[in-house]
Structure 1
Amino acid sequence: MKNKPDDRTNNVDRIQHNITNNIKNINLAEEMIKKTDDEKTKKTLIEKNKRRKNSLNSMKAEIKDEAIDKKNGYQ
């Protein structure tokens, strides 16, 4: 059984898609935080948004790396 070749041609698009979804989820959670009176729900959503924001920073760095790699001819 042969390993699949490393196909990185769509990495930038895939990462951008994940960034977009992450931002959408952050915004939806923030709306819910404003609307709910349930402190447990608020706390859970705030914690999730912290993780999402950390993840966004990582994805933004990754997309920059991928764009540089693509510019340098790596696929």
Structure 2
Amino acid sequence: MAKPDNRADNVDRLQENINNTIENIEEAEDYLSEHAGEISDTEKQQIEGKNERRRESLEAFRSEIKDEALHQRNE
């Protein structure tokens, strides 16, 4: 039998994902600034591309938090 949908901790979980993603972006940017002269253009582009995808994920997480907040208000 399927478990009932428990969304009580979704906002907290999403916020933790946001915090982790921001931390990963900052670490990658720090790495780029510290090692810019030591890494290839390809590696730099890969890191920048990954950070761009992370920024897109942040937007999606924030949108999900808004949806969860609306859902919780409507219960």
The Cα of 1:71 is off from its aligned counterpart by 1.3
Who is 1:51 aligned against?
53
Give structure 1 stretches of 5+ with no counterpart.
Answer: none
Give the RMSD, CA atoms, in angstroms: 0.9
Distance in 2 (CA, whole Å) between partners of 1:58 and 1:66 is 12
- Identical residues among aligned pairs (%): 43
Deviates more, 1:64-73 or 1:15-24: 64-73
Using structure 2 for the length normalisation, give the TM-score. 0.90
Aligned length: 72
Show structure 1 runs of 4+ deviating over 6 A.
none
Give structure 2 stretches of 5+ with no counterpart.
Answer: none
The Cα of 1:58 is off from its aligned counterpart by 0.5
Using structure 1 for the length normalisation, give the TM-score. 0.90
Distance in 2 (CA, whole Å) between partners of 1:44 and 1:32 is 13
Distance in 2 (CA, whole Å) between partners of 1:56 and 1:22 is 7
